[in-house]
Chain A
Amino acid sequence: MNAPTTSHYPAAPTAQKAESHTLSVLVDNEPGVLARVIGLFSGRGYNIESLTVSETEHAKHLSLITVVTTGTPMVIEQIKNQLDRLVPVHRVVDMTLSGRSIERELAMVKVKGKGDSRVEALRLADAFRARVIDATTESFVFEITGKSDKIEQFVALMLPLGLVEVSRTGIAAIARGPEGM
């Protein structure tokens, strides 16, 4: 199959299977570093599914960015190399490839309801080990932590019971075992 010849550019490659990867990116905690990372993703057309940033060690002026992205294995490799190329980036670790990482997310889930649905919401929250962090006579705010799919399942269950809104932190990840990044 020939690409159209009226373009200055080669045809788009045929789609390959995309994978989801969690990357931990250790960066200098300086102004604009997040803009560099986000600009890289938008400029090169990569996906961001989740992004969290926070200072890790104040004294060392370091921040950790955890980003969940999808792409073919070749694109994922590109993303890592492109991140690594940014001057304020110290390290990029593919938590998914290393296979020995723990990923957690926190969500706050607001549910409004009365009567049976209210009781049911409380019962389910208990089963998911979600805590009640705010309550009125007609609403709850639950705090839940865990893997993203657990949170998604919980949110799905709350939907028919009067789900009002959800605020999620995005994913934080860390490697198992004694070694640091």
Chain B
Amino acid sequence: MTEEMSGAEMVIRALADQGVKHLFGYPGGAVLPIYDAIFAQDKVQHILVRHEQGAVHAAEGYARSTGKVGCVLVTSGPGATNAVTGLTDALMDSIPIVCITGQVPTHLIGNDAFQECDTVGITRPCTKHNYLVKRIEDLPRVLHEAFYIASSGRPGPVVVDIPKDIQFAKGVYSKPKDFPHTGYKPKLKGDIDKIKQAIELMAHAKRPLFYTGGGVINSGKHASDLLRELVKLTGFPVTSTLMGLGAFPAADPQWMGMLGMHGTLEANMAMHDCDVMICIGARFDDRITGRLDAFSPGSKKIHVDIDASSINKNVKVDVGIVGDCAHVLEDMVRLWRSGAKHPDKKALGDWWKQIDKWRSRKSLAYRRSNEVIKPQYAIQRLYELTKDRDTYITTEVGQHQMWAAQFYNFQEPNRWMTSGGLGTMGYGLPASVGVQLAHPKSLVIDIAGEASVLMTMQEISTAVQYRLPVKIFIINNKYMGMVRQWQELLHGGRYSESYSEALPDFVKLAEAYHAHGIRCEKPGDLDHAIKEMIDVDKPVLFDCVVDPKENCFPMIPSGRAHNEMILGDAAESLDSAITEAGKVMV
């Protein structure tokens, strides 16, 4: 089926044919024809953000919470450069985004025209792929290909840069199915011989564990279901990265908590001491491995990843399986069920006893207070008061993000939206806008830091405009807490520029935006205030004033091994934990 129309109309038509319902954008000279096309239809709703970075983060939240592609439209020059942080964020965290950028007319490209920038040049290293469309005949194919590339294999952002004359030009539109996908074909099925080798290793394991990551979320709900099945069948313990939280339920007894720099003692010690590590859709990030030459020295490693370049990048593995998590997990479950050999029950029992010993150190424990709100307590209460609701959590970046990961117990995938790889302060508020739009009836909360949230605060205005009742729960410690913590522990307590001086009054700020403001300063008032936040059918800025000096523990200082973890003073003595660990290390 073909039809003649303008390039601008093709853009909106292609989005509609790709099933896009919402488009986050900001207008400007180089995209006005597309805005005209938006005006003339009602299939795709445009959401006007307040900054292009916010548009991309909102699209990321939308994408991560639905599994669909998030869509963005920005103008040339500053519109495109403002989108760069969001695009980089989406690339690092494997989020499917299609971002359409306007460009100056083709005959002006290269002439330093008004609001010209080399968008494909600037975004080449921060996209999975990008296009500059110079002929109207290419536009339909490129638009559909952009969706395919963004969402298949390892997802990522794709930019389509469209000069203004191409938006005006008339051409023949074609539907998605008219383009066979050539060239780029990600491999979904894993090599069955490798999977058999993996199963063999697992069957002989004495101290096994699953180390899972964002790839399980990317792979879809089915992958989480299969992971749960395999974990149950094997009886092995499981830990996850920050990006993978929710794929396996935190309430399950086989769950050890998050691993890595701010992970639990049991997860990190188990990583260090295991004999078979089964990594599913995680990428051996440096927040996980710590000191590479001391990373899980005695284990055989299995790695399932859809991107061959993730395998053997940081850590050499014994069995690398290139494939999609759900596909490979399905084979693993089948082979495990039909396999004759199963692990040594006694060894596995001893392993669990060891893990329970580590657990008994209570590495997440903190000193409670009746005077000031402890940030951990705030998140625990938030969890208790929202866990029975249909809740989605986003975060900013810093200590509050780590406490959210540690204390908000995720039971389902796609409920947790955070900037892991790039660590972008200012992600959470716009992301919550995107999530709320995708899930209008759900409770959407941004667990924020007072410094981060100011980076994209203006998006609260977007939330108000579209009546999106997002809850911005600010853990206000009056510091860039994560920076302060590093300065305290590693730079002799020289708190250079990390105090949040001259903060706004968040309650008044909320009112200025026609949102609802709440401040809470006492632990005793917290539950009531959180309930109020939930009940208000409006965007809320919640100023939760917490202990300014609290540190986030456990912590593995960079460049240290997993068994060189620092615990908080409320946890059971660190020294005994290390000696205990030393014994089993051999």
Contacts and interface: CB of A to CB of B under 8 A. Distances in A.
Interface of A: 2-11, 13-14, 28, 31-32, 35-36, 39, 43, 74, 77-78, 81-82, 84-88, 90
Given A5-B557, A9-B286, A77-B312, 17 more contacts: A2-B291, A2-B559, A3-B291, A4-B559, A6-B491, A7-B559, A13-B293, A32-B120, A35-B121, A74-B312, A74-B316, A78-B312, A81-B309, A84-B308, A84-B309, A87-B184, A88-B183
B153 to A, nearest CB: 9
- Secondary structure at the A interface, as helix, strand, loop or mixed, is loop
A81 B292 CA distance: 21
B289 interface: yes
Contacts of A13: 292-293
B560 A3 contact: yes
Interface in B172-189: 183-184
A11 B557 contact: no
B124 interface: yes
B558 A3 contact: yes
Nearest to B322: A81
Interface in B304-320: 307-309, 311-313, 316
B490 interface: yes
B308 A81 contact: yes
B149 interface: yes
Interface string B541-576: 000000000000000011110000000000000000
Given A5-B557, A78-B312, A43 B125 contact: yes
Contacts of A85: 307-309
B276 to A, nearest CB: 22
Contact of B559 (A11, A14, A35, A90): A11
Interface of B: 120-121, 124-125, 128-129, 132, 149, 183-184, 286, 289-293, 307-309, 311-313, 316, 486, 490-491, 557-560
Give 5 closest A-B pairs by Cβ, nearest first.
A3-B559, A81-B309, A87-B129, A81-B308, A5-B557
B149 A11 contact: no
Nearest to B121: A35
A151 B311 CA distance: 38
B293 A90 contact: no
10 contacts: A5-B558, A5-B560, A6-B490, A32-B124, A35-B121, A74-B312, A81-B307, A85-B307, A87-B129, A88-B183
Contacts of B312: 74, 77-78
Contacts of B290: 10
Contact of B289 (A3, A6, A10): A10
A88 to B, nearest CB: 7
Contacts of B132: 31-32
Contacts of B184: 87
Contacts of A78: 309, 312-313
A84 B307 CA distance: 10
A10 B291 contact: yes
A84 B291 CA distance: 29
Contacts of B309: 78, 81-82, 84-85
Nearest to A77: B312
B183 A5 contact: no
A57 B125 CA distance: 28
Contact of A2 (B120, B292, B560): B560
Contacts of A90: 183
A11 B491 contact: no
Nearest to A32: B120
Nearest to B125: A43
A24 B285 CA distance: 30
A74 B309 CA distance: 11
A85 B155 CA distance: 12
Contacts of A14: 293
Given A5-B490, A78-B309, A81-B309, A10 B559 contact: yes
Contact of B558 (A8, A35, A77): A8
Contacts of B559: 2-5, 7, 9-11
A11 B128 contact: no
Contacts of B490: 5-6
B382 to A, nearest CB: 28
Contacts of A84: 308-309
Contacts of B308: 81, 84-85
Nearest to A3: B559
A91 to B, nearest CB: 10
A32 B183 CA distance: 17
Contacts of B120: 32
A137 B560 CA distance: 69
A47 to B, nearest CB: 17
Given A78-B309, A87-B184, A90-B183, A10 B292 contact: yes
A86 B311 CA distance: 16
A57 to B, nearest CB: 15
Contacts of A74: 312, 316
Nearest to B310: A81
Most buried by B among A7, A10, A31, A35: A10
A64 to B, nearest CB: 15
